[in-house]
Amino acid sequence: MKKKTFLEELLEAKAHRYAVGAFNIFNHLSARAVVQAAADLDIPVILQTSVVTVKEFGPVGLGAMLRQIAEEAPVNVLIHLDHCQDVELAKACVDAGWDSVMYDGSRLSMEDNIAGCREVVAYAHRKGVQVEGELGRIVGVEDAVKVSADDASLAGLEDSIYFVRESGIDAYAPAIGTAHGVYKGTPKINFDLAAQLKEAVDTPVVIHGGTGLSEETFRRLICSGGAKVNVSTAIKHAYLDTAREYFGEFPEKIDPIDFDRHLSSAIRETAKEHMTVFTKDRI
Ligand SMILES: [Zn+2]
């Protein structure tokens, strides 16, 4: 099938008021289950890898495995590196076949964040790979990236416009009050910033911390221009909770394929539920 790039998919999503789901996968089974969910709904999808997962498999091995899944899929599947603070690792993923990489310099000063983004952008763009950047600090834990409530900060409009322009990034993840991990209480989200960014910059906006938001919150964020929504914790829960239930229900069973099928269908359903919400207001 004809394949659109990461940026083309996000611009199309922004124009048509839906979001492409980006699901953090961690092995072959989870990647395939997410792709099956996208195929069920006939929509594009992003397989997102954390730095921990990349280091576990190695960029070359993981890249080859995910490329094969993408090539066999009946829908457009893009491979994305999530929250990478290491310029060299981001470059290694560019070389190993990722479609896009996130350089996360959000812990740095504005100028150092921009400098890191520019270095990754220069390298990635030469190979047709796109780059996501972050400003402000998204609270919570996402694999090896931990930000406490005291260190969290939200992005502002003027800084966002400056950062997007100077860094040359293709997709922008502003900290707008969503969080990594599981929410404690209702998050305070700056919907106005999302809406203002939609008008102020062409660059598509990425929403991090997509696990546990209400359907209403997702739809408001997407109608405000959120073109990519990241979901990680919900996929981990689908996998591990199903494993626990399986062992409780079938303590004596020795059938790894049957076990894998249970895990796979749980991830497929969880991904599909999110994708359905992300495409509900499509125009
Ligand atoms: Zn994130």
pLDDT in tens, 23-77: 999 999 999 999 999 999 999 999 999 999 999 999 999 999 999 999 999 999 9
**Looking at the predicted structure, is the pLDDT value of residue 1 above 60?**
no
CA of 208 to the centre of ligand 1 (A): 4
Tell me the mean pLDDT in the region 117-134: 98
Six-digit token string for 250:
């079938």
Instruction: Name the pairing type of β-strands 145-147 and 140-142.
Output: antiparallel
Length of the chain: 283
Q: How far is the CA of 24 from the centre of ligand 1 (A)?
A: 10
Catalytic entry in 40, 42, 82, 202: 82
Q: CA-CA distances (angstroms) from residue 215 to 53, 123, 210?
A: 29, 38, 10
Separation between Cα atoms, residue 24 and residue 232, nearest integer Å: 5
Question: From ligand 1's centre to the CA of 255, what distance in Å?
Answer: 35
Beta bridge partners of 102: 132
Residue 74 is predicted with a pLDDT of 97
251: left (phi over 0), alpha (psi -120 to 50) or beta: alpha
CATH number of 6-278: 3.20.20.70
| Distance between Cα 251 and ligand 1 center (Å) | 36
Amino acid at 153: S
Task: Kindly give the distance from the C-alpha atom of residue 256 to the centroid of ligand 1, in angstroms, as a whole number.
Answer: 32
Residue 14 CA to ligand 1 center (angstroms) comes to 19
Beta strands in the chain (DSSP E): 20-24, 45-49, 77-84, 100-103, 130-135, 140-142, 145-147, 171-174, 205-207, 226-231
Our answer to whether residue 82 is catalytic in this structure is: yes
The pLDDT, as a whole number, for residue 143 is: 74
What mean pLDDT comes out for the span 139-157?
77
